[in-house]
């Protein structure tokens, strides 16, 4: 018989868990037989001592088995998803997903809420009036078939264990554990019923991973996990030393994504979109992937799919309008070369959008300069905006000193 406290001690001593032991831990926590404080001890033990590949496969399988696994029948097209390890201003999923669907792929996408200093795709979508991202797996499956893409959050039907563990990881500083990351990512993605997955592993001062060596280690581990479940996985490393695109927040990122789908995306943002899209369409055995992606943007079909997806989830894009009441602009106080502290920007953005209590869909930041730009004294660097002036003042005070050091 498994004893939870003994298993925690074993992991603290770097001993490997068996499949039964990992299933016991995951299911016991899901069934409230293990408290948050007890589970935190195990998460920290894993964070400090890791799990080997076999254990990580066991953990991923336990996450999948905690809920339903979707199976798509009678679909004439490659079933693929995209995932990012998280970044500031990262709205790539909102742009790439409809593009891939317009190119003939099917994209079932389960996304998360904010974690640490990074924004969550579900939070952004829920800033659209009426958008319901917590639908049944049956409805999710139908929208994918009808539209080509559906983006939802975790429900009690799909990987409920990960949903609960994911929230606890964010509260206990155990986010940056490769086995836990792999189980969370691959569990949800495999449960979606996909055949392929493209990963965007962020590197830099706004990412959980700081260098290419660690990013490649994670990418290879995720690919290995995928192969154990017959899911092909490819990945890229991309820069997160500055916010991606021009905006970071909630509704402002939806609007920027809509602009990108109409051919008006920022160069750094579209570079990531096209690089991942090329990987995905190559996986789907499609020729001339970049030309196809540019075509579905120019002819409007990708944007039409985005609009149709939003309508299928109850969202009303006619009501999407950024109408913040207050803002504070931040200027350079000297001549210098700009270098962003992206993590601290992310902390401030999360504060004004989500972490202060009520969600402010109108809150966010607009960036006027890129890393390496030469600033003259008085140049506008960014705008902090939202409905609550007090929160904007706090966020501005959080980030203003960062630019005095450039």
SS3 content of the chain, % helix, strand, coil (to 5): 50, 15, 35
Could you count the other beta carbons within 10 Å of the beta carbon of residue 31?
10
Active site residue 325: no
Which of 110, 115, 48 lies closest to 81 in space, CA to CA? 110
- From 11, 41, 188, 189, active-site residue: 188
Which residue reads 């490659």 in tokens? 78
Residue 96's region, left for phi above 0, alpha for psi from -120 to 50, else beta, is: alpha
Which of 364, 131, 388, 356 lies closest to 256 in space, CA to CA? 364
Active site residue 358: no
Measured CA to CA, the distance from residue 12 to residue 49 in angstroms comes to 6
- From 11, 113, 141, 169, active-site residue: 169
Q: Are 42 and 7 in contact (CB under 8 A)?
A: yes
Measured CA to CA, the distance from residue 253 to residue 364 in angstroms comes to 9
Spatial CB neighbours of 208, under 8 Å, sequence gap ≥ 6: 85, 86, 116, 118, 175, 176, 202
Which residues is 337 bridged to in the sheet? 374
Could you count the other beta carbons within 10 Å of the beta carbon of residue 353?
28
- From 83, 91, 114, 164, active-site residue: 83
Spatial CB neighbours of 371, under 8 Å, sequence gap ≥ 6: 241, 242, 338, 339, 340
- From 81, 90, 123, 162, active-site residue: 162
SS3 368: coil
Which of 259, 284, 308 lies closest to 95 in space, CA to CA? 259
- From 84, 150, 184, 238, active-site residue: 184
Backbone angles phi, psi at 310, to 5 degrees: -60, -45
List, in sequence order, every beta strand (DSSP E) within 55-137: 80-84, 107-111
Measure CA of the first residue to CA of the last residue in the chain; give whole Å: 59
Active site residue 188: yes
Active site residue 184: yes
* Residues with active-site annotation: 83, 162, 169, 184, 188
């Amino acid at each position: 018989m498994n004893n939870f406290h003994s298993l925690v001690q074993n992991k603290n001593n770097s001993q490997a868990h068996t499949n039964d032991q990992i299933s016991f831990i995951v299911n016991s926590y899901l069934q409230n037989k293990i408290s948050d404080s007890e589970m935190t001890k195990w998460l920290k033990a894993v964070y400090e001592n890791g799990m080997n590949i076999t254990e990580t496969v066991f953990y991923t399988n336990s996450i999948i088995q905690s809920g339903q696994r979707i199976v798509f029948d009678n679909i004439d097209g490659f079933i693929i998803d995209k995932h990012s390890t998280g970044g500031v201003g990262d709205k790539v999923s909102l742009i790439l997903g409809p593009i891939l669907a317009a190119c003939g792929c099917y994209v079932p996408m389960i996304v998360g809420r904010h974690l640490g200093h990074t924004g969550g795709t579900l939070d952004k979508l829920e800033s659209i009036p009426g958008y319901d991202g917590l639908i049944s797996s049956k409805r999710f499956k139908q929208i994918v078939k009808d539209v080509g893409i559906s983006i939802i959050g975790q429900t009690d039907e799909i990987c409920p264990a990960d949903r609960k563990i994911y929230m606890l990881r964010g509260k206990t500083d155990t986010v940056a554990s490769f086995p836990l990351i792999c189980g969370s990512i691959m569990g949800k993605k495999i449960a979606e019923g996909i055949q392929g997955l493209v990963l965007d592993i962020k590197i830099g001062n706004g990412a959980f991973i700081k260098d290419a060596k660690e990013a490649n280690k994670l990418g290879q581990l995720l690919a290995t996990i995928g192969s154990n479940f017959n899911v092909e996985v490819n990945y890229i490393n991309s820069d997160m030393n500055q916010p991606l695109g021009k905006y970071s927040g909630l509704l402002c990122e939806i609007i920027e994504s809509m602009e990108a789908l109409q051919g008006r995306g920022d160069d750094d943002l579209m570079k990531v979109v096209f690089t991942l899209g090329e990987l995905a369409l190559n996986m789907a055995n499609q020729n001339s992937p970049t030309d196809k992606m540019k075509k579905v943007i120019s002819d409007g079909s990708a944007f039409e799919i985005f609009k149709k997806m939003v309508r299928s989830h109850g969202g009303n894009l006619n009501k999407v309008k950024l109408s913040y009441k207050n803002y504070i602009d931040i200027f350079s106080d000297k001549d210098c070369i700009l270098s962003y502290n992206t993590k601290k920007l992310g902390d401030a953005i999360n504060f004004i959008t989500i972490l202060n209590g009520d969600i402010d869909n109108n809150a966010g930041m607009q960036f006027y300069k890129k890393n390496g730009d030469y600033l003259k004294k008085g140049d506008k660097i960014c705008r902090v905006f939202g409905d609550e002036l007090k929160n904007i003042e706090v966020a501005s005070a959080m980030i203003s000193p960062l630019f005095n050091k450039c």
